[in-house]
Amino acid sequence: MRQVEGREWWLWGSAVTVTLVLTFGILSLAFPGLQRPTDTVYLLNLKEWVRGLAALVLLFDIYTMYQQRQLQRIRRQLAEREQLFQLITENAADMIAVIDPNGQRLYNSPAYQKILGYGPEDLAATSSMDQVHPDDRARVMEASAKASSTGRGERLEYRVRHKDGSWRFLESTASAIQSPEGETLGLVIVNRDITQRKRAEERLAHQSFHDSLTDLPNRSLFLDRLQRIVTVWRRHSELKFAVLFIDVDEFKVFNDSLGHAAGDGLLVQIAKRLTAGLRGADTVARSPVGEDAELFGGESTLARPGGDEFAVLIEDLHDPSDAIRVAERIQQRLAIPFDSNGQEIVLSVSIGIAFSNNRGMTAQDLLRDAEIAMYRAKSSGKARCEVFDHAMHACAIKRLQLETDLRKAVELNQFRVYYQPIVSLRSGQIVGLETLSRWQRPESLVMPAEFIAVADETGIILSINRQLLYEACHQLRSWQGLFPSDPPLTLNVNITSKQFAQPDLASQIGNTLQETGLDPGCLNLEITETIAMGDADRSAVVLTELKALGVHLDIDDFGTGYSSLSRLQRFPVDTLKVDRSFVSRMDTDVDTREIVRIIVMLAHGLRLKVVAEGVETQAQADLLTDIGCELAQGYLYSKPVPAETIEQLLSNAANASANTRAKAASSRFA
């Protein structure tokens, strides 16, 4: 436009100049002053002059008209472009702004009203920086300075206040308007509303650091917070903080009995109670006004690292005893009954506490220490709170070592099968053998009490017992051939909870039976009543599946769990193994003897056979015979022994019975 205006000035200037020159020329010719009008030369010259000037004027007019047309065309084009610009800016979804080099608004597209709620009057009354978030202002100014100097700014994200007070995220690019001389006359800024995208990104980030059920920070976020504190603490060791690891006692039982949805509901209620009592960090809701006394008044972070576990980071402790007090209050608060679909639920938690105490420690170490202390609280009776100490650490290290050693032992084939006879109390004959594992380490023979539990928790038991089952079935088949009897010798094999939880347990056992050719009717699977009762519905299904193989089912350690005989009726079991603790007290305690008598009686009523475990004395054996118990197992007959010893025992028994038969025959013929 400036160029058009320049050209117009030039045109008008030349027109005025030409007009003046022509006027002057004509005047000087019309009023010749010094020359005589009759002079023929002069008259001739005058004509020539007039003709010449007229030609010039004509030429000049043509030129001016041409120029004028050109200017009109340019003007029309400019007007069209302006219309187009207006059409685009007025209808663009993006907000387009033009500002002068001082930040004063020159133009704002109508999208400003749609997106940010500001009308032209609101915008006129403010500068372009007024609505920018204070934290983002420096960045925005820097970006516009850059755009002014280089001509084009970089993409920038910043926050702007909506007229309703909320914050919106904008993504903007700025371009400079420059004069032909390169001077910046203003900036054109195109702003896009990316609030929805930003919120989605934030939600995603939130989800990856929060637990979806309770919306509490997850393990990663908790460790991140904790690590930050640990880092600060390395420089300021006067800071005291603690980690509480909270685990709901017997949560699995609630989950199994109430259903998973109700279990989840319970966890949410626990999270709410904990949240309400802890004031502090932003991820923890502040306790509502009027809520009863806080568990802890300082900064704290509550997280759900997994399953039925919660963790609390308590910052700024005055004294370690504060943490213990918090733990006790948590226990009291969670002891108030919960409501699950109208059902009253009473639960308890075990809490482990670890304090900042060792300069080299990391967040992971602290959380692990708190967890170790929690396990100690569980194993020493639940509903308790324990503070981590170094003996626990040593214990945990030992356990880790045991895990590693166990894995190696599987590879090195260090497990041995021992057998303990089960005898008929009536005939004194060996009728069956229970397989019991031993771990043959180079230096010693390790008993199951030292490794079965860990092997089970870690799943290593699966490899151990697969091997054991195969070997024992194979062995029994061979003994059945060597020492035939009627009914044939049976084999008892223990099933742990990990094995019981395997979906393909029945098919695994079925395969082993097929491979070894052992009659399924000769295999007794021993399952403790605690395992069987854990998830009664599932147990019924699994036990029925196993039963369909043709094997027999024994309830092991009967009397140590919480089950009753009537509940056992639901399961297709064949035999009860009365726990050693009852048998060992039978000969000294009348009440125990009475209990065993009733168990045997009720079991027979349910058509179950009974094996008495841990029979050590003849007195016990006699009492059991009197009561009507048919089978016994214990040191009185034999300790668990290796296969060679069993073979010897079976061979002796076979010889003895052959001798008896021979004697009987000879006495008959004598």
Is residue 524 close enough to count as binding ligand C2E by CB under 6 A? no
Interaction mask 408-427, ligand C2E, x per CB under 6 A: ------------x-------
CA of 276: how far to CAs of 214, 218, 297, 307, 332, in Å?
A: 13, 18, 12, 20, 14
Is residue 556 close enough to count as binding Ca ion by CB under 5 A? yes
Whose Cβ is closer to Ca ion: residue 384's or residue 580's? Answer: 580
Residue recorded with tokens 């058009």: 4
Whose Cβ is closer to ligand C2E: residue 387's or residue 422's? Answer: 422
Whose Cβ is closer to Ca ion: residue 211's or residue 613's? Answer: 613
* Segment interacting with ligand C2E (CB under 6 A) among 271-279, 349-357, 592-600, 633-641: 633-641
Q: Which of 541, 551, 576 is nearest to 561 (CA)?
A: 576
CA of 5: how far to CAs of 12, 60, 79, 134, 184, in Å?
A: 11, 20, 14, 43, 20
Binding residue for ligand C2E, selected from 25, 101, 448, 534, defined by CB under 6 A:
448
Is residue 610 close enough to count as binding ligand C2E by CB under 6 A? no
Is residue 561 close enough to count as binding ligand C2E by CB under 6 A? no
Binding residue for Ca ion, selected from 225, 557, 593, 611, defined by CB under 5 A:
557
Residues 451 and 408: their CA atoms lie apart, in Å, by 13
Whose Cβ is closer to ligand C2E: residue 278's or residue 532's? Answer: 532
Binding residue for ligand C2E, selected from 545, 616, 630, 647, defined by CB under 6 A:
616
Residue recorded with tokens 């769990």: 561
Q: Which does 108 bind (CB under 5 to 8 A by kind): Ca ion, ligand C2E, none?
A: none
* Shortest distance, position 327 Cβ to ligand C2E, whole Å: 34
Whose Cβ is closer to Ca ion: residue 133's or residue 498's? Answer: 498
Amino acid sitting at position 320: P
Q: Distance from CA of residue 318 to its chain's centroid?
A: 33
Q: Which does 609 bind (CB under 5 to 8 A by kind): Ca ion, ligand C2E, none?
A: none
533 close to 562: Cβ distance less than 8 angstroms: yes
Q: Which does 280 bind (CB under 5 to 8 A by kind): Ca ion, ligand C2E, none?
A: none
In sequence order, what E strands does 403-513 have?
415-424, 430-440, 445-446, 490-495
Residues 389 and 375: their CA atoms lie apart, in Å, by 13
Considering only residues 53 through 82, tell me which ones interact with ligand C2E, judged by CB under 6 A.
Answer: none
* Shortest distance, position 351 Cβ to ligand C2E, whole Å: 30
Integer-rounded Cα Rg, in Å, for the chain is 48
Question: What single DSSP character describes residue 174?
Answer: E
* Shortest distance, position 463 Cβ to ligand C2E, whole Å: 12
Considering only residues 482 through 521, tell me which ones interact with ligand C2E, judged by CB under 6 A.
Answer: 494, 496
Q: How far apart are the first and last CA of the chain?
A: 145
- In sequence order, the 6+-apart residues with CB closer than 8 A to the CB of 232 are 239
Residues 260 and 273: their CA atoms lie apart, in Å, by 20
Is residue 557 close enough to count as binding ligand C2E by CB under 6 A? yes
Whose Cβ is closer to ligand C2E: residue 7's or residue 407's? Answer: 407
Residue recorded with tokens 């079925």: 510
Q: Distance from CA of residue 489 to its chain's centroid?
A: 51
* Shortest distance, position 493 Cβ to Ca ion, whole Å: 9
Whose Cβ is closer to Ca ion: residue 89's or residue 633's? Answer: 633
Residues 614 and 579: their CA atoms lie apart, in Å, by 8
Amino acid sitting at position 230: V
Footprint of Ca ion (CB under 5 A): 494, 526, 556-557, 613
Footprint of ligand C2E (CB under 6 A): 420, 435-437, 447-449, 452, 465, 468, 494, 496, 526, 556-557, 580, 613-616, 633-635, 640
